[in-house]
Amino acid sequence: MDLKEIRSQFPILSQTVNGKPLVYFDNAATTQKPNTVIDIVNEYHSRWNANVHRGVHQLSNVCTDAAEAAREKIARFINAAASDEIIFTQGTTDSINLVAETFGRAFIKPGDEILVSQTEHHSNFVPWQQIALRYNARFVVFDCHDSGEWDMNDFYAKINAKTKLVAVGHVSNALGTVNPIKDVIDKAHSLGIPVLVDGAQAIQHIPVDVQALDVDFYVFSGHKIYGPTGIGVLYAKTQWLEALPPYRYGGEMISKVTNTYSEFNNLPYKFEAGTPNYIGQIGFGAAIDFISQFEVQQIATYEHKLLRYAEQKLSDLEGVVIYGKSDEKAAVVSFLIDGIHPYDLGVLLDKTGIAVRTGNHCAQPLMTRLGIFGTVRASFAFYNTFEEIDYFAEMLRKIIPMLK
Ligand code: PMP
């Protein structure tokens, strides 16, 4: 991969922050956008904008075709069996709420159980907890080890005939751990239980094949894979999309409306009420085109080298504790420095042009389990460089004594 060439396609990367060249290590929160994504969003707003699906005129048809082409691209990217299995949502959180609300309404009864892991992002935790409360079901959490890896014995102990759904993350946003989701899916399926996988931190880092995984629901956000904000995907097997009731009601999701009843539209539109974020979809499609120039495996290999390099550099510093110890990790390093508040470190790093995230990373149950309130998190994308990590380590070396 020609890094210089890749970086030149992301205009934000060549700017300064606080008078210093930007070093953007907050990619788990959101990734930057290449010119192709920025340009296509601009082009469709300035040349082609018209509402989709209902038009007879040219602009509407152009937008509709481009928005639907994005659905096809995403289906191919994750190897879905059909593009109708791709539902556009506002993002990962919206996708999970869609499944939680509709699955809850259709299938969750008092005494049922919903099983999640201790390492989930709040958006794959709170919706299930609230659905369980609403239907008098049990919300069950399986444990992780101090390393951040799942305690699979606890998972095998807690899954049972009462479990109605398992919801787990593919990659931990807080620690970077790549989780053994295939083992979870196989075990759940042996008991006839469907599995939802939160792929928000996996889709941009590791190849995902939903058919090979045999996963029932797989969700992710456009903005974490170089696309626009406000657009995301719910992939679900057709059998589930047929079985679940609609999420929201309104235009587009109906085929017939009378004063007394309505009939719902075919897939995927049954789950896409109202005017969709069609320009977001088109931008998302451009992001998929962008990333498809590379092998995702090639990206993963490079990012893994960045990760191990950063972990090594951090370990050389006194008082650093890295959270998330696993052989299987995506490009996230979470750490604390003895006696220093993460927030103070984050603020001083910002003064040097380095953007990291501090806090609980929307994973309070995990932080509580690890006995900490938060960490400093540096998360990488394939446009980051070893030189940036050297600079990061050098700045930490200067900052640490100032905060002690
Ligand atoms: N799950 C994980 C693992 C995440 O990292 C995030 C974003 N931080 C989300 C869910 C929520 O994604 P969004 O905010 O795009 O809905």
pLDDT in tens, 47-70: 999 999 977 999 999 999 999 999
pLDDT in tens, 242-287: 999 999 999 999 999 999 999 999 999 999 999 999 999 999 999 9
Q: Which of 201, 223, 284 to mutate for ligand 1's pocket (most ligand atoms within 8 Å of CB)?
A: 201
pLDDT in tens, 381-390: 999 999 999 9
Q: Which of 26, 90, 92, 120 to mutate for ligand 1's pocket (most ligand atoms within 8 Å of CB)?
A: 92
Instruction: Work out the average pLDDT over 358-369.
Output: 97
Say how far apart CA 205 and CA 202 lie, in whole Å.
5
C-alpha distance across the termini of the chain, in Å? 41
pLDDT range class, residue 358, cuts 50, 70, 90:
very high
In this prediction, residue 1 carries a pLDDT of 80
Ligand 1: centre distance to CA 287 (Å): 18
φ/ψ of residue 274, rounded to 5:
80, 180
- pTM for this model (two decimals): 0.98
Contact 220, 288 (CB under 8 A): no
Closest ligand 1 atom, CA of 232? Answer: 15
pLDDT range class, residue 404, cuts 50, 70, 90:
confident
Instruction: Work out the average pLDDT over 228-247.
Output: 98
In this prediction, residue 54 carries a pLDDT of 78
Ligand 1: centre distance to CA 394 (Å): 31
pLDDT in tens, 155-207: 999 999 999 999 999 999 999 999 999 999 999 999 999 999 999 999 999 99
Structural domains of the chain ordered from first start = 3-33+296-403 (3.90.1150.10), 39-291 (3.40.640.10)
Check if 121 has its Cβ closer than 6 Å to any atom of ligand 1: yes
Check if 93 has its Cβ closer than 6 Å to any atom of ligand 1: yes
Contact 149, 102 (CB under 8 A): no
φ/ψ of residue 44, rounded to 5:
-70, -35
Mean pLDDT rounded to a whole number for the chain: 97
* Residue in 314, 361, 332, 364 with CA at minimum distance from that of residue 118: 364
| DSSP string over 334-403 | EEEETT--HHHHHHHHHHTTEE-EEE-TT-HHHHHHHT-S-EEEEE--TT--HHHHHHHHHHHHHHHHHH
* Residue in 285, 275, 404 with CA at minimum distance from that of residue 338: 404
